[in-house]
């Protein structure tokens, strides 16, 4: 795609008025009542909500766990899992032992103001429509609520749908390169549809809206925990996919970006730095922390998007570096800086 075409595409994404609408992913309609809607872990380790909802607030949970409302006599769930909006199936894993998600399906909602992904995990089974490339309508059945996972045993009393709304960080090659550099003990069998390549946000408030809204504005208006400046000449494919998150680019040379982040590591708003930037070195991706919100700092440190140094110094955390390396497909250098 040429530079002018990209600019036109991004301008269109940012200027159109959208009416995005989400349906519920299962038969459980008690979305306003967490005790009835969310499946708790069944121990003191945490609940089924989004965020620092595991192990007494020390472990991050990237989605919500939806409780089933119908069961067989033997206790296994019967609830159907449905697409929350029109979209296309971009990935379907039917091998329960191949992922900690168990059997899972990923759907892209490409006609939204922000083409987000919805993810449906721990399924007992996949339906015939859960086929890559299949175009879906809202409420199409993707499978059934279950408890499949390669990483841990989910008892039937805790069977649930793990549901996420997310953005994809890197393309297949960039993510595979990052994954290989990390030298994980198991190979990546899911390409760029591996959950490590997603950055999710809390799906519960959008599900509760029950009316049309702009997903793009919802994501952009999430609270800002910190701001980074990135020096690079590279325009990442992440911003071609999610142009509604970008401000200030007229198609000219890029010197970098100022990026606003949520505490859990979603780069939610980008402002282009145009023209030549003195620190820029061709081919490099360099980043420093411009500012942080002290209110969100404890959450950011637990999530490791930020890290504390000596005294009151704050630094960019390893998870922020991971996100940028997936987006840019290159190593990221942290410049010496702290935020006050």
167-205: pLDDT as tens digits: 999 999 999 999 999 999 899 999 999 999 999 999 999
Which residues are CB-neighbours of 43 under 8 A, at least 6 positions away? Answer: none
Which residues are CB-neighbours of 191 under 8 A, at least 6 positions away? Answer: 91, 172, 175, 176
Q: Specify which residues 82 forms β-bridges with.
A: 141
Structure tokens at 163: 């549901």
Q: Specify which residues 168 forms β-bridges with.
A: 198
pLDDT tens profile 271-325: 999 876 555 555 689 999 999 999 999 999 999 999 999 888 999 999 999 999 9
Residue 1: predicted pLDDT:
41
Q: Which CATH number fits domain 21-209: 2.70.70.10, 1.20.120.430, 1.10.260.30, 1.10.10.10?
A: 2.70.70.10
Q: Span 195-217, mean pLDDT?
A: 96
Closest CA to 116 of 210, 218, 25: 218
pLDDT tens profile 240-278: 999 999 999 988 888 999 999 999 999 999 999 987 655
Q: Span 15-37, mean pLDDT?
A: 87
Residue intervals of the chain classified under CATH 2.70.70.10 are 21-209
Instruction: Tell the burial category of 213 from Cβ atoms under 10 Å away from its Cβ (0-12, 13-18, 19+).
Output: middle
Stated pTM of the model:
0.91
More confident site: 40 or 196: 196
């Amino acid at each position: 795609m040429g530079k002018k075409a990209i600019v036109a595409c991004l301008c269109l994404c940012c200027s159109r008025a959208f009416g995005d609408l989400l349906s519920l992913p299962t038969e459980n309609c008690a979305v306003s009542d967490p005790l009835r809607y969310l499946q708790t872990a069944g121990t003191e380790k945490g609940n089924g909500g989004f965020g620092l909802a595991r192990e007494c607030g020390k472990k991050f949970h990237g989605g919500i766990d939806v409780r089933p409302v119908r069961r067989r006599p033997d206790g296994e769930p019967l609830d159907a899992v449905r697409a929350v909006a029109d979209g296309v199936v971009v990935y379907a894993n039917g091998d329960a032992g191949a992922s900690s998600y168990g059997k899972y399906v990923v759907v892209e909602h490409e006609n939204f103001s922000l083409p987000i992904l919805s993810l449906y995990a721990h399924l007992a089974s996949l339906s015939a429509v859960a086929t890559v490339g299949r175009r879906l309508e809202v409420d199409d059945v993707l499978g059934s609520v279950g408890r499949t996972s390669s990483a841990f045993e989910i008892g039937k009393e805790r069977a649930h749908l793990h549901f996420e709304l997310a953005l994809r960080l890197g393309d297949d090659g960039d993510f595979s390169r990052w994954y290989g550099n990390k030298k994980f003990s198991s190979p990546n069998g899911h390409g760029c549809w591996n959950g490590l390549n997603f950055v999710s946000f809390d799906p519960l408030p959008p599900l509760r809206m029950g009316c049309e809204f702009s997903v793009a504005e919802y994501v952009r208006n999430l609270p800002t925990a910190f701001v980074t400046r990135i020096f690079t000449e590279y325009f990442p494919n992440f911003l071609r996919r999610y142009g509604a998150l970008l401000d200030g680019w007229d198609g000219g040379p890029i010197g970098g970006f100022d990026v606003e982040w949520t505490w859990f590591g979603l780069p939610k708003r980008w402002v282009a730095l145009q023209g030549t930037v003195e620190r820029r070195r061709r081919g490099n991706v360099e980043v420093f922390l411009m500012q942080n919100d002290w209110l969100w700092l404890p959450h950011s440190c637990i999530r490791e998007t930020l890290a504390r140094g000596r005294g009151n110094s704050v630094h960019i955390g390893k998870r922020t570096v991971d996100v940028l390396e997936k987006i840019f497909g290159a190593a990221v250098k942290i410049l010496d800086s702290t935020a006050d």
